[in-house]
């Protein structure tokens, strides 16, 4: 489903939604910029198959997490901008809690191994 | 010589052939492709290479189709879109059908034409009712000594008021419409909804009042027959 340099595709799939929500929580953005941003933040280690992002965005929109509007870019090109809705913000907080939990447990276990 | 437009058209054809039918995702993908090609070219690739890389990054047609098919799949979602489409509420599927900025909302003439077509029967019925049925009903009331119910009276008074002040009411409405059509971008998205709701309310009102009159006529008719028997 996803092409990835370091992460397994299951992990990439599972992390797409929290990543998109978190980036959108900074302000509205569009498909291409979202992909570039994730690439940049992960040091090129999370690389989505570009086209796959759009169905994910559309599903999130259907579930009422985000909303979209068409507008024109500075260069006059049409773009579909996505932004966070209230439910999306809540979903993001939930994702953060869950990922932090997993992260906390894992790093605890990792420490044990080196003691 | 490599023709980028030709290549994009061919890529588009392949995507459509693979089953990405709805114009919305297709358009978004094409915009993405163009942006990716430009970005690759800025980083030094020549046009054919840039195009090839961008297409590869967007992904396989088959896999994309499977993903897009998952969108809008549930019965609930489909019903929701159907309801919105019928009610004329722009949702993302409608909005996504746009070819260029706002063009694909229902064209202006269609909205006006449909609204007129939908309210004409109601207006015709109402006029018939006023001209033919109402005098008879009043006559029946007088003969049987039954007062006309308040609700029907109110409707008649309002109807008379509207008839007498037709220009006072309609000129501001027409002016407001002209102003909205002329200046408002907001209006373009809501025009169909507003007209739809207005036509619905008008039709329902006429229907309810005529039904009320009919029921009332039956009741008066019954007392009238008693009146004649006695």
Average pLDDT over residues A81-102: 94
Residue B59 to residue B187: CA distance in whole angstroms: 39
Q: What is the dihedral of CA B13, B58, B98, A29, to 10 degrees?
A: -170
| pLDDT band for position B136 (cuts 50, 70, 90) | confident
Residue B44 to residue B24: CA distance in whole angstroms: 31
Tokens, residue B186: 């907001």
| CA distance, residue A77 to nearest chain B CA (Å) | 8
| Measured CA angle at B134 (ends B129, B137), to 5 deg | 135
Residue A97 to residue B177: CA distance in whole angstroms: 51
pLDDT of residue B94: 38
Counting residues of chain B whose pLDDT is more than 90, the rounded percentage is 9
Average pLDDT over residues B124-128: 89
Q: Which residues contact B69 (CB under 8 A, 6 or more apart)?
A: B19
Residue B218 to residue B34: CA distance in whole angstroms: 70
pLDDT of residue B61: 65
| CA distance, residue A114 to nearest chain B CA (Å) | 40
Asked if A55 and B64 come within 8 Å (Cβ–Cβ), the reply is yes
pLDDT of residue B12: 84
The CATH class given to the A9-114 domain equals mainly alpha
Residue B80 to residue B198: CA distance in whole angstroms: 22
Chain B residues touching A80 at Cβ < 8 A = 28, 31, 96
Residue A4 to residue A49: CA distance in whole angstroms: 8
Asked if A62 and B67 come within 8 Å (Cβ–Cβ), the reply is no
Minimum Cα–Cα distance from A2: chain B residue: B59
Minimum Cα–Cα distance from A60: chain B residue: B71
Q: Does position A47 have pLDDT exceeding 80, yes or no?
A: no
Asked if A54 and B68 come within 8 Å (Cβ–Cβ), the reply is yes
SS3 A84: strand
Chain B residues touching A32 at Cβ < 8 A = 31-32, 35-36, 39
CB contact burial A41-79 (16+ within 10 A = b; e otherwise): ebeeebbbbbbbbbbbbbbbbbeebbbbebeeeeeeebb
For B160-202, the pLDDT digits (tens) are 888 888 888 889 989 998 998 888 777 877 888 888 899 999 9
- The helix (H) or strand (E) run that includes residue A79 is strand A78-84
Q: Does position A107 have pLDDT exceeding 90, yes or no?
A: yes
If interface means Cβ-Cβ distance under 8 Å, which residues of chain A face chain B?
A: 1, 3, 31-32, 49-52, 54-56, 58-59, 61-62, 68-70, 72, 77-80
For B200-210, the pLDDT digits (tens) are 999 999 899 88
User: Rounded mean pLDDT of chain A?
Assistant: 87
Neighbour count for residue B144 (Cβ, 10 Å): 17
| pLDDT band for position B217 (cuts 50, 70, 90) | confident
Burial of A40 (0-12, 13-18, 19+ CB in 10 A): exposed
Contact B85, B104 (CB under 8 A): no
Average pLDDT over residues B149-161: 82
Counting residues of chain B whose pLDDT is more than 70, the rounded percentage is 77
pLDDT of residue B95: 39
Angle between helices B134-144 and B185-229 (to 10 degrees): 40
pLDDT of residue A95: 95
Q: Does position A2 have pLDDT exceeding 60, yes or no?
A: no
For B62-116, the pLDDT digits (tens) are 666 666 666 655 666 667 767 766 665 554 443 333 333 333 457 788 888 889 9
Contact B15, B29 (CB under 8 A): yes
Domain ranges of chain A: 9-114
């Amino acid at each position: 489903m996803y092409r990835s340099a370091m992460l397994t595709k299951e992990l990439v799939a599972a992390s797409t939604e929290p990543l998109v929500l978190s980036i959108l929580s900074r302000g509205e953005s569009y498909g291409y910029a979202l992909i570039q941003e994730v690439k940049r933040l992960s040091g090129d280690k999370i690389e989505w198959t570009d086209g796959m992002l759009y169905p994910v965005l559309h599903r999130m929109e259907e579930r009422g997490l985000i909303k979209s509007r068409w507008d024109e870019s500075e260069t006059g090109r049409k773009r579909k901008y996505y932004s966070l809705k209230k439910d999306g913000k809540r979903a993001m907080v939930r994702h953060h809690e869950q990922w932090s939990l997993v992260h906390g447990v894992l790093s605890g276990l990792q420490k044990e191994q080196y003691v | 010589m490599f023709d980028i437009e030709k290549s994009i058209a061919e890529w588009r054809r392949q995507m459509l052939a693979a089953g990405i039918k709805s114009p919305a995702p297709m358009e978004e993908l094409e915009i993405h492709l163009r942006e990716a090609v430009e970005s690759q070219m800025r980083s030094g690739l020549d046009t054919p290479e840039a195009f090839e890389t961008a297409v590869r990054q967007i992904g396989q047609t088959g896999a994309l189709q499977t993903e897009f098919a998952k969108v809008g799949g549930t019965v609930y979602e489909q019903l929701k879109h159907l309801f919105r489409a019928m009610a004329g509420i722009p949702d993302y599927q409608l909005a996504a059908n746009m070819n260029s900025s706002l063009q694909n909302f229902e064209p202006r003439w269609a909205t006006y034409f449909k609204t007129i077509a939908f309210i004409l029967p109601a207006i015709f019925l109402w006029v018939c009712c006023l001209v033919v049925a109402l005098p008879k009903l009043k006559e029946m009331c007088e003969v049987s000594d039954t007062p006309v119910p308040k609700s029907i009276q109110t409707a008649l008074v309002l109807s008379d008021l509207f008839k007498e002040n037709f220009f006072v009411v309609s000129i501001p409405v027409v002016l407001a419409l002209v102003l909205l059509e002329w200046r408002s971008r907001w209006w373009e998205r809501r025009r169909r909804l507003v007209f739809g709701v207005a036509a619905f309310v008008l039709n329902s009102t006429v229907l309810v009042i005529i039904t009320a009159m009919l029921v009332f006529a039956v009741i008066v008719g019954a007392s009238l027959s008693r009146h004649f028997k006695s």
